[in-house]
Amino acid sequence: MTVLDNTIGSGTTGVACVRTNCHFIGIEKEERYFNIAQDRIN
């Protein structure tokens, strides 16, 4: 399964996908939130 989150924010959906071994596509236009999400997911 692949999950699309078009407003990733702080990355909660991405973290859940990593933990449950799902594929994930996240989109965020605000650099601040992108960086937060990237740190949480990686």
pLDDT in the model for residue 14: 97
Q: Give the separation between CA 28 and CA 11, rounded to whole angstroms.
A: 9
Residue in the structure block whose two tokens are 């650099």: 31
In tens, the pLDDT along 9-37 reads 999 999 999 999 999 999 999 999 999 99
Q: What is the 3-state secondary structure (H, E, C) of 1-42?
A: CEEEECCCCCCHHHHHHHHCCCEEEECCCCHHHHHHHHHHHC
Residue in the structure block whose two tokens are 């999400």: 37
Predicted TM-score of the model (pTM): 0.85
- Say which residues have a Cβ less than 8 Å from residue 20's Cβ, sequence separation at least 6: none
